[in-house]
Structures are given as structure tokens and as C-alpha cells.
Amino acid sequence: MARLFGTNGVRGVVNRDFTVELAQGLAAAAGSVLGKEVAVGRDARTSSPMVRDAVVSGLLSVGCNVHDMGVVPTPALQYMVKSLGLDGGVMVTASHNPPQFNGVKVVAADGVEISRATEDRIEGLHFKGGPEPAPWNMVGAVREHDILEPYIGAVVSRVDHGLIASRGLKVALDTGNGVSCLVAPLVASRLGAGVYTVNAELDGGFPGRGSEPTPENLDALRDLIGATGADLGIGFDGDGDRSIIMDEKGEAVWGDKSLSLIADWYLGRHAGETVVTSISTSKGLEDVVNRHGGRVHWVRVGSVDVSRAMVEHGYLLGGEENGGIMYGPHHPVRDGAMIMALLLQILADTRRPLSELIAEQPIYSKAKDKVDCPDELKEEVLRRLPGLVEGLDVDTMDGVKVTYGDGSWILIRPSGTEPVCRLYAEARDRETVMGIIGEYKDRLGKLIAGLQ
Ligand code: MG
């Protein structure tokens, strides 16, 4: 059976892999698994109104009542599902994927992405022909909500508004023509910061810099920081859950380092707590957490696994190396606007430039690469991967992770969203990490070629 749910929801090219029929069918299956009251939100993609209507009709057809949240960031929908006590939600978005993509992220009653087991139930039901439609007099109803104000208020309430406002901070935002432009500038100005924006108009074609912020495509943000003297810059992804931060000098900060900075600040106030992260995250996080007497709880790659571990064990901070950070006191999901508010809090607390705070985080050199791997070979590659690395310290929680005596490591795993195997490596210096990546890219390439 083909798997529809990838690392984070179901996604595909609109009207080719991700059709109206698929959206409707998945929504019907999701609705019958989630329960009666289901939220629907959408991002600003050009195809999102079409997909939203398909999702709404699928949900109504199985008797769900739809709570239509309109155009909202994913984390706003997630927060409001929990806060309104709904049974779940469906967010129409392809997150950071290019504009021709769309998809859905399905949210459980606790406002967190559904577990892998629930994904399997929904898929199973869909592939068996879907649930029985409701009789005509049991078809659901639609109710509209305006959730931006309560969501923004909730984020602002999690930080010290008075302290932040007293510092006269300036923040530069690149909302990438995505839905963050509806919340991030408002949160920052509500906190008394001076706000400067670029790519701040909603546009489903993402004409500014694409929907995925990377250290390479944030030149406009860098220029904005330079022109305004902003203390902090942030680039958001298409649906507002992930963000890349930039210091006052225009240096992009990798997700690992923003996570370790926030962990450093958070554990400074809550010593000994546990931080959840995926096994692709830098060892630098563990160094910081250990310094505060805390512990890192490692999970498989994927925000769902981080969030679910936080919910299950009650941990209050989590994150991923790609810039997705979960602040449990607000809500244990990735939330770009919440992270912006926390960074303003950190700047206000420390009264120090962001570049100095980042420079104090542990220094490791990281590298990522990928090797083409057809989807049908992934299972076999996964089975044979341990053979590539025999005799070393090997962790097979997700793909294969090898750790060497000096702390350097490499993780190889088949991608959940693309026909590639990804390699992540880290070492104390650039030369070592590139050597490790090169060696394993070669071995993996030969393994895959041998299977074709
Ligand atoms: Mg996203």
C-alpha cells in the first residue's frame, strides 16, 4: 500500500498527485477518525481555496461540523483546536514546498499533529473506499471563526510585555508572502518592538524569495537589518511554523543554534528539565542542556515525533535542526511567531546583542547532502544500511546514525517526502565533517546503484 502521509502531513503537486478527490477522500476519512467538531484552516496558496472546499465537503459528508478558521498560520489553527476544545483540525497547506504543491496537515484534539498510528488509521480507511457517508439529515454544518486576535493575545501573554517594550528593540521580518504576515508583525508591535517588514503581502505564488527560508535566500532580510539597525531578523516559512533567525549583523543562525540559545535561556530558569529533539540535531544542544543539569530526549526525525514526545512525557521545550521550535508553555508545536516573541524576551532579559549570545553556543561544523534513491528502493536501502557501518557505535532509531569516539557523527535516512536519501553529519571542524559526508555519500551511492 502506498503511503500518503510523509514526514509531516500529505503533500503533492496540485491536480496531479494531490487532487480534489484525494483531499475530499482524506478529509472524510480524517473526519470519521477525529470526531464531530473539526477545524479547517488554509494557507495563502492559489490552490488553497479549492483544496479547502474539498476538505470541507469531505468532512461535512461524514457528519462533521466544520469550524472554518479562514487564512491562518498552521500554529494558530493548532492552538485554537485545543483552546476551543474541538475534536481535531485539518490545515490546508504544503508548508515550505514550492507554490505548485498543496496538501493537508491533520491535527488531533490536543492541537498537535496526529500520531503515526492515527495517520495509518486514516490511510487505511481511505484505501478501503472511505467511511460511509452520513444520511442527508446528519450532514454537518459550517461555522466561521476569527481566530487571529485570540491567538496573537495568547502568544503575547507568554512573555514579559512590559520588559520587552521598555527596551526599544527593533525587529526585521521576512514573512515570505506567507501567512505569517497576518500575525508576526502584530505580535512584535504588540510587544512594543519597532517592526520592519519585507515580502509582507500575502501571495500564493511566493514571488519574494520562495516559501522556504534558507540562509542563502534571505538577502532582503539582511539588507533590511542593515538599513534599519534591527536587533533581530526572522524569516518565516509558507505556513508560519518554521523560522530562520538572523542576528543584528545579518548573519543567519542555523536552527540548531537558535534551539540551543532558547534551551540555554529556558533551562537557566528551569534547571534540570528535559528538551526533546530529533537525532539530526547538533550535539551542541546536548552540551548546553547538560550544562544546566538537564537531559536531551532524542526522537526520530519529524516535528510530529518531537511534539508527540513532549505531550506524552509533559516536556516543555522541543525543536528540530531546521528551525522548528516548540515552546510547551504556549503549545507543544512549531510556532514561528512564538519563537520570535521568545527571542525578544531573551534580548530584553540579557540586554546583549544576539550575535554575542549566539557566539557563546557550542561550535560544531555541520553538513547535509543527499543521494538520489527511488522510493521503491528505500526499504531495501534501509535494511542494508547497517552493513555499511559495521563495528561502529550505531543507532537505528531512524535510518542509521553512527557516532565516532571524538563525538562526530553521521545520520543517513531515506527522505519521507522526496526520492532521496539524506545525509547529515557533524564534527568539530569543517574538514572532518566534509570527509565523513564524502565517504558515506560514496558508499551510499554504490549501495543504491547496486540495487538498480
Ligand atoms: Mg511549515
Domains and CATH numbers, the chain: 10-146 (3.40.120.10), 151-359 (3.40.120.10), 365-451 (3.30.310.50)
Angle in degrees, 0-180, between the axes of helices 430-451 and 378-388, rounded to the nearest 10:
130
The confidence score (pLDDT) of residue 2 equals 58
Grid cell of 239 as nine digits = 505556513
- Among 46, 104, 47, 38, smallest CA distance to 69 is for 38
Distance in Å, CA 73 to ligand 1 centroid: 9
pLDDT tens, position by position, 7-24: 788 999 999 999 999 999
Distance in Å, CA 19 to ligand 1 centroid: 20
Write down the residue that cell numbers 569516539 correspond to: 405
Give the active site residues: 95
Contact indicator for 212, 206 with CB cutoff of 8 Å: no
Grid cell of 19 as nine digits = 487532487
Phi, psi for 417 (deg, rounded to 5): -125, -15
Give pLDDT < 50 ranges for the chain: 1
What would you measure as the largest C-alpha separation in the chain, in angstroms?
68
Distance in Å, CA 242 to ligand 1 centroid: 5
Distance in Å, CA 326 to ligand 1 centroid: 13
Write down the residue that cell numbers 538599513 correspond to: 227
Distance in Å, CA 28 to ligand 1 centroid: 24
**Residue 162 burial (CB count, 10 A):** 10
Residues 6+ apart with CB under 8 A from 248: 225, 229, 230, 231, 232, 233, 353, 354, 355
Distance in Å, CA 451 to ligand 1 centroid: 34
Write down the residue that cell numbers 505531550 correspond to: 311
Distance in Å, CA 42 to ligand 1 centroid: 12
Distance in Å, CA 429 to ligand 1 centroid: 30
3-class secondary structure per residue, the chain: CCCCCECCEEEEEECCCECHHHHHHHHHHHHHHHCCEEEEEECCCCCHHHHHHHHHHHHHHCCCEEEEEEECCHHHHHHHHHHCCCCEEEEECCCCCCCCEEEEEEEECCCCECCHHHHHHHHHHHHCCCCCCCCHHHCCCEEECCCHHHHHHHHHHCCCHHHHHHCCCEEEEECCCCHHHHCHHHHHHHCCCEEEEECCCCCCCCCCCCCCCCCCCCHHHHHHHHHHCCCEEEEECCCCCCEEEECCCCCEECHHHHHHHHHHHHHHHCCCCEEEEECCCCHHHHHHHHHCCCEEEEECCCHHHHHHHHHHHCCCEEECCCCCEEECCCEEEECHHHHHHHHHHHHHHHCCCHHHHHHCCCCCEEEEEEEECCHHHHHHHHHHHHHHCCCCEEECCCCEEEECCCCCEEEEEECCCCCEEEEEEEECCHHHHHHHHHHHHHHHHHHHHHHC
pLDDT tens, position by position, 168-194: 999 999 999 999 999 999 999 999 999
Distance in Å, CA 52 to ligand 1 centroid: 17
Distance in Å, CA 241 to ligand 1 centroid: 5
Mark residue 156 as left, alpha or beta (left: phi above 0; alpha: psi -120 to 50; beta: remaining).
alpha
Residue 365 C-beta-side C-alpha neighbours within 13 Å: 11
Give the C-alpha separation, 303 to 266, whole Å: 20
Distance in Å, CA 239 to ligand 1 centroid: 5
The confidence score (pLDDT) of residue 393 equals 86
Distance in Å, CA 149 to ligand 1 centroid: 21
The confidence score (pLDDT) of residue 215 equals 83
The confidence score (pLDDT) of residue 203 equals 96
Grid cell of 171 as nine digits = 525587529
Distance in Å, CA 204 to ligand 1 centroid: 14
